[in-house]
Structure 1
Amino acid sequence: MSDTPSNMMPLGTKAPQFTLKDTITDTIMSLEQLKGKKATVIFFICNHCPFVIHVNAQLAQLAKDYIDKGVRCIAISSNDIEHYPQDAPEHMKNFATQAGYIFPYLYDETQSVAKAYNAACTPDFYVFDSDLSLKYRGQLDDSRPGNQVPVTGQDIRQALDCILEDKDNPNLQKPSIGCSIKWFKA
C-alpha cells in the first residue's frame, strides 16, 4: 500500500469536461448531464485500493445525505485494467451495487480525464460549485486505514456546506492520501 498525495489543483479551476461510460447503467454520460444544481463532487476511486475500501461506506452515505440539497456525486476509475483486472468495468458495477452507490461510477478507459484533473491517487476528491468552479480538493477527512480515526467525511461535508451557504471555506485543505492511480505502462 503506497501513500500517494493529491496534486491539489488550483482553486477556481473550471472542471474539465468529459464524456464517459457509466458502468452501472452501461450508458455514456457527460459532466454536463451529471452535474449538480448547487455542487458537484468528483472522486477518483477504484475497486481494489484499501484507502477507497476504508471510506467506501462514507462515499455512499455522503451522496445520500446531499442529493436532496442539489449536490451530485460522480465516481471515476482510471486504472490500467490490463495490470489491475479487478478494476475492470464489469467489476466496477458489482462494487458499486454492493456499496449502495446512488451515483454513477464511470470508467476512464484512456486515462485522459484523470490527466485533465491532474488526479494522483485513489481516492482523490474535487468539489465544484454550480458554475463548475473548483472550491475544494483534497481529502475526505483525516481517517486512513489503521489510524483509528473515524471516517466522517468532515472535510468534504464542510466544503459542501460552505457552498450551500454561499460562504468561503475557512478550513485548511489537506491533500488526500491513497494508492497511486495505476497508469498505463509505456
Structure 2
Amino acid sequence: MSKTLSSPLTLGTPAPKFKLKDTNSSFEYSYDELKGAKGTLVFFICNHCPFVLHVMEEIIRIANDYRVQGLGIIAISSNDILKYPQDGPELMTEFAFKHKMEFPYLYDENQEVAKAFHAACTPDIFLFDVQDNLFYHGQLDDSRPGNGIPLSGSDLRGAIDAVIYNRTLASPQKPSMGCNIKWK
C-alpha cells in the first residue's frame, strides 16, 4: 500500500467550481448545488484504498452528525478506472449503498476536478467555510490502518466545529495520508 500525503494548499483558497455525475442518483450536481449553509466538506475517496476503507465508518458518522447542522458533504472519486476498474461508477454505487452514504458520491472521469483541488491521495479532505474559502485541508485523525490508534475524527471534527461556530482553529493542520490518486 502506497503512502502519499495530501499536497500543501494555502488556506483561504476559493473552492473550485465543478459539475459532476452522482453515482448514487445519476444526476449531475455542481459545487454550488451541494454546498452547505454552514460550510462544505469535500472528500476525495475511492472504493479500494485501504486508508479509505479504514476511515469510512467515521466519515459516515461525521456526515450524519454535521449534515443536519448545515454542512454540505461531497465525496468524489477521480481514479483511472481503466487501470483500477474496481473504482468504476457502477461499483461506486454499490460502495455507497454498502456504506450507507447519504450524500453524493461524484465521479470525476477526466480528473479535472481532482487537479483543480490539488488532490493527491485518498482520503484527501477539504473543508470550506460559508464564503467557499478553504478553512481546513488535513487528516481525519491520527488513526491509520494497522497503527492501533482508534478512529475518532478529532482533527476534522475540531475543524468543522470551528467553521460552524465561527471560531479560529487552534491546532496545526496535519496532512492527510492515503493511497495516491491513480492518474491517467
**Equivalent residues in 2 for 1:132-171 (5 A)?**
132-171=132-171
Shift of 1:68: 1.2
Shift of 1:158: 0.3
Q: TM-score, normalised by structure 1?
A: 0.98
CA distance in 2, matches of 1:21, 1:83: 20
Shift of 1:9: 1.3
Shift of 1:163: 1.0
**Equivalent residues in 2 for 1:12-161 (5 A)?**
12-161=12-161
Give the secondary-structure state (helix, strand or coil) at the position aligned to 2:68. Answer: helix
CA distance in 1, matches of 2:129, 2:4: 26
Runs of 4+ in structure 1 deviating by more than 3 angstroms, as ranges, are none
Shift of 1:82: 0.2
- Partner AA of 1:38 in structure 2: K
Shift of 1:20: 0.1
- What's the C-alpha RMSD, in Å, of the aligned pairs? 0.5
Q: TM-score, normalised by structure 2?
A: 0.99
**Contact conserved, 1:8 with 1:138, CA < 8 A, in 2?**
no
CA distance in 1, matches of 2:164, 2:83: 41
Q: How many residues align?
A: 184
Aligned to 2:176: 176
Shift of 1:8: 2.2
CA distance in 1, matches of 2:128, 2:158: 13
Shift of 1:165: 1.5
Give the secondary-structure state (helix, strand or coil) at the position aligned to 2:74. Answer: strand
CA distance in 1, matches of 2:179, 2:70: 30
CA distance in 2, matches of 1:19, 1:82: 22
**Contact conserved, 1:120 with 1:180, CA < 8 A, in 2?**
yes
CA distance in 2, matches of 1:114, 1:32: 17
Percent identity between matched residues is 54
